[in-house]
Amino acid sequence: MATTASRPANQAPPLEGYDLYSENRPLAEAVAREGAGWADDALRALGTLLGGEPLEWGRLANESPPQLRTHDRFGNRIDEVEFHPAWHQLLGLGVEHALHASPWREPRAGAHVARAAGFLSLGEVEAGVCCPLSMTFASLATLREEPELYDEWKPLFTSTVYDPGLRPAAEKAGALCGMALTERMGGSDVRVNETVAQAAGGDGEATLHGDKWFCSAPMCDAFLVTAQAPGGLTCYFVPRVLPDGGRNAFHIDRLKDKLGNRSNASAEIRFDGAWARRVGAEGRGVRTIIEMVAHTRLDCVLGSTGLMRRAVAEATHHAAHRLAFGRLLTDQPLMQNVLADLCVDSEAATVLALRLARAYDEEDAPFRRLATAVAKYWVCKSTPPLVAEALECLGGNGYVEESVLPRLYRESPLNSVWEGAANVNALDVLRAIARQPESLEALLAEIDLAAGAEPRLDAAVAELRRELADPADVELRARRLVEGLALCLQGSLLVRHGAGAVAEAFCASRLGGDGGRAYGTLPAGLRLAAIIERHRPRV
């Protein structure tokens, strides 16, 4: 006799089959506010698509991580990485929607904001594929230093055709670009890198010899790397396949066994006379590559914000359906405190990320310079504790792989490490303030747009200015200064643009000192239920 399947009692239904973009209300509002309202329909369509089958692709791509094939069956060196079909489906989806290139394809007002919203939404589904999309997007900012290279590769790097496989550029319908900067002896200090570039003809051609300790997405078609030329550290462009169809001397020694980001390959690579073309002036490698780093740091902020949002969505959804002690979790005061506290950080990250994206649209160099480093430090550093608390909201269910929270938790520290760990970013903030004081003036001017609107914000800004004016032990206090800049900037944005209940909770707990170190310590009298409902996806 046939039976009718039913959902087990007191279990939340799967969070799927919904529009990730529209149900992320702070994000949709920020898109309209920051100048990309024209993209709303396309973002809704993408959000609806991402809320369906791609959620399953993310699981599959992580359960079947990439495999390195150094040689073919005849013993020939091939240095290829094999991926699960779900990886290709997700990466192809990102390319099809131009999340790797839209501001370069159509440089209109709001283009970076629109891309940021789409990239953030894809990051909710699976973060691994965001790496090659981000590096391709950022590579074009650096390739502009060499107009001939830019004109040659831009059509491939901006194509919306996903065309995997190593073939000559002339045979490709689309391509992806990566980068490899760090070496074992240097890490973030790329100036001590020992890869050597030897001249190999005119027009900046060279052969490279050396090792790179970290190369993300080594299956890309080309890479930007740094090497020591006679004139100093220099940036080079290295294709995987030579124009004549031969494989470049770009060898993958092994793949990293990483904590998270399991769907994406990261490798140790070796250049054994790899052919390369110089990008920018000889000896100006750091200055040349810095534009790529700035754009990937923007994407670190977006990626972490996406992880926060997915964690908050899962936690609020679960609590709205799970009964405990005779009541829904979401109706219980202490759980309301925890959930609302999580929502506050998620919205604060969202308003900051989209405001930062607008600075790239407007080519607002002073604000962008400092705000990127500040946001990269604070948003990425804030993500792991938020994801951990969201996981705990699901109890034992959250500790089980099927809940997706363990994958988010393993992923959560990555963006704080990538493109300069927290100390590197904090010291970069000090460097920007010292060398480009106009960047601090621009950031403080943005904060001051909310002056007089919130006493706790005003008091926090006054304290921040006192801290900035004190030169004593400034490196020792670098993290404290960056945290102050970030919180005041987020507070200003929320007071001006966020939901009133969220702004009130943020100022009371993050600026007014009326909150503890753990989540769930918001003071009494706040509109917790309203905050939660604003962030809970309706499925």
- Quick: pLDDT tens for 78-135: 999 999 999 999 999 999 999 999 999 999 999 999 999 999 999 999 999 999 999 9
What element of type H or E holds 357? helix 333-361
Percent of the chain's residues with pLDDT above 90: 92
When pLDDT is cut at 50, 70 and 90, the band that residue 6 belongs to is low
Fold of 25-283: Butyryl-CoA Dehydrogenase, subunit A; domain 2 (2.40.110)
Statement: residue 376 has pLDDT above 90: yes
pLDDT averaged over every residue in the chain: 95
> Which segments of 240-265 are extended strands (E)?
250-255
CB 324 within 8 A of CB 393: no
Averaged pLDDT for residues 405-422 = 95
β-sheet bridge partners, residue 199 = 206
Q: What is the pLDDT of residue 4?
A: 46
271 neighbors 249 (Cβ within 8 angstroms): yes
DSSP at 7? P
The arithmetic mean of pLDDT across residues 391-408, rounded, is 96
Instruction: Give me the pLDDT at residue 192, please.
Output: 82
pLDDT at 2: 42
Over residues 464-522, the pLDDT tens digits come to 999 999 999 999 999 999 999 999 999 999 999 978 999 999 999 999 988 889 999 99
Residue ranges matching CATH 2.40.110.20 in the chain: 25-283
Residue 127, pLDDT score: 97
Tokens of 187: 């890490």
Across 457-482, b (16+ Cβ under 10 Å) vs e yields bbebbeebeeeeeeeeebeeebbebb
**Lowest mean per-residue pLDDT among 146-155, 194-203, 288-297, 522-531:** 194-203
**381 contacts 417 by C-beta, under 8 angstroms:** no
| The pLDDT value given to residue 3 | 45
Strand partners, 224: 179, 237
Residue at token pair 């704080």: 416
Lowest mean pLDDT segment, chosen from 32-46, 49-63, 181-195, 249-263? 181-195
Q: Report the percent of the chain where pLDDT is more than 70.
A: 98
| pLDDT tops 80 at residue 186 | no
- Contacts with 439 (C-beta within 8 Å, 6 or more apart), sequence order: 366, 367, 369, 370, 432, 433
Q: Compute the distance between CA of residue 389 and CA of residue 395 in angstroms, rounded to an integer.
A: 10
pLDDT at 7: 61
Predicted local distance difference test score (pLDDT) of residue 420: 87
C-alpha 45/C-alpha 177 separation (Å) is 27
Domain with CATH 1.20.140.10 in the chain: 287-535
The answer regarding whether domain 287-535 maps to CATH 1.20.140.10 reads: yes
pLDDT in tens, 383-393: 999 999 999 99
- pLDDT at residue 1, rounded to an integer: 38
Other beta carbons less than 10 A from residue 100's beta carbon:
31
By CB neighbour count within 10 A (0-12 exposed, 13-18 middle, 19+ buried), where does 170 fall?
A: exposed
